[in-house]
Structure 1
Amino acid sequence: MLINDEAKARTYLTNISYYRLSAYWYIFLELPQADHKFKEGTEFHRVVDTYVFDRKLRILLFDEIERIEISIKTRLIQEFCETKGKNWYENAALYTKPIHQQKFLECVDDETERTREVFIEHYRQKYNNGVRPPAWMVFQLVSFGQVSRLMKNLRSCPELKAVADHYGVDAQVLLSWMESLSYVRNTAAHHARLWNRRIPKAPVLPNNPQHAWLKAVPGPGEERKLYAVLAVVRYLLARFIPSTSFSAKLNKLLADHPEIPESYMGFTPNWRDEPLWEN
């Protein structure tokens, strides 16, 4: 590897660490990578640029997925509270199995006990009777992953369908998307490499989406790359933020780092021409 500025390289390694940065130079290794031999002409600044790109990408996705998380939680609260009551999450009849109800209630109890949020402290003082808080409080405490598992473990019902309808997809598609988004969100939250990571459970690609989607969908094996998740983020954001700037932000990020190979993330040829990505 060529190092043109040793002082700058030393600063990066001192503050990022050799091991953390090493995750970003595997794409620059000759095959087999186990030999740890760099391709001829590989420069250290290319590794750093990949690291910086990944960091910016994580920040962008963490911010946008937060918006989606809040929106989905809000739809769940409104749809279920209107028909099933403010503590609907305690209703055993809504779950596919008793164990699922038990685990979610344990999660609620743990989060409620652990938190020092003012609204929960006030609730305890006002209702010191062991009654669990209403759903709109509980959903402030539980994580996106916990909500994703909750929805997956609920019986099919009109309320769940209404939540999915709000985003123009089937309930099973939305559940798949939430699982993928939760994984990406957690990866970003833990500052782990994201850009060329394969998603363990790829988001289901909808057959009949109600709004602009991909004409050229990722092929076999490609759906586990990040592009499919980026498309899901864009689709969902457009349902409740019509003026979303996500496409523009993503395009700018890629333009700022032109040496990043888009194919490693699963981008299809001419993806910018897709109606889904129109600003």
Structure 2
Amino acid sequence: MIDHDLKNSKEVFIKQHYLKYHADQRRPPAWKTLEVVSFGLLSKLYGNLGSSISSKDTIAKELNTVNHTYLRTWLQAISQIRNICAHHGRLWNRNLPGRPKLLPKPPAPWLIDVPPVSVHHMLYVHVCCIKYLLDAISPGHKFSSKLATLFTKYPSVDLNALGFSAIWEKESLWRS
């Protein structure tokens, strides 16, 4: 999969790498390669790292997910949602395949009213995980306001069927 992503990359820096190092049959260095591989592959690479590798927990802590057991499930769930969207699948009123493992005491703003495990197959929990990671990766992003605008634009969407509570926007996660 890595070779496929590298071969199909349209990134100038990858093409220049192969031109400059054409005699070297190895892949470009990780700092270049990981820029062009798919999110799904990154998720699998992270999940397949050995549990004893300290970098795995370091990455998780950087993203405020405490340790690798949580982050792995979040990345897998987000990757599955990405694939559903990429193939024009339906997210509304759907049993999503991934179940992100939720943090008992997250270090960053999270939900006061955490949905029960029985509804973790619905979109809301997954979207909360995306928002939480975005807060760590890209402070100042506009995800919350864009989501609210989308729901305003399409008022016929039943937020309950997506697992959203009536007061989801009042949660500290969505206000930060």
> Any stretches of 5+ residues in structure 2 without a counterpart?
none
Match of 1:160 among 53, 56, 59: 56
Match of 1:139 among 14, 34, 42: 34
Q: Normalization by structure 1: what TM-score?
A: 0.58
Structure index of larger Rg: 1
| 1:166 CA displacement | 0.8
| 1:190 CA displacement | 1.7
Identity score, percent = 35
Aligned mates of 2:47, 2:171 — CA distance in 1? 31
2:103 is the counterpart of 1:209: no
> Any stretches of 5+ residues in structure 1 without a counterpart?
1-106
Structure 2 counterpart of 1:122: 16
| 1:259 CA displacement | 2.3
Aligned mates of 1:241, 1:131 — CA distance in 2? 32
The count of corresponding residues between Structure 1 and Structure 2 is 173
Structure 2: which amino acid aligns with 1:120? Answer: I
Aligned Cα RMSD in Å? Answer: 1.8
Q: 1:45-64 alignment to 2 at 5 Å?
A: none
Structure 1: which amino acid aligns with 2:149? Answer: K
| 1:217 CA displacement | 1.4
Q: 1:23-38 alignment to 2 at 5 Å?
A: none
Q: Residue 76 of structure 2 contacts residue 98 of structure 2 at CA under 8 Å; is this kept in 1?
A: yes
In structure 2, the CA distance between the partners of 1:207 and 1:129, relative to structure 1 (3 Å rule), is same
Structure 1: which amino acid aligns with 2:31? Answer: W
Matched position secondary structure for 2:117 = coil
Q: Normalization by structure 2: what TM-score?
A: 0.89
- Structure with greater proportional helix content: 1
Aligned mates of 1:129, 1:270 — CA distance in 2? 57
Aligned mates of 2:156, 2:5 — CA distance in 1? 44
Structure 2: which amino acid aligns with 1:133? Answer: P
Residue by residue over 1:226-271, the C-alpha shift from the partner in whole angstroms, topping out at 9 and shown as x without a partner, is 0001111111111133322221221122122222211100012422
Aligned mates of 1:247, 1:262 — CA distance in 2? 15
Aligned mates of 1:109, 1:269 — CA distance in 2? 46
Aligned mates of 1:272, 1:200 — CA distance in 2? 25
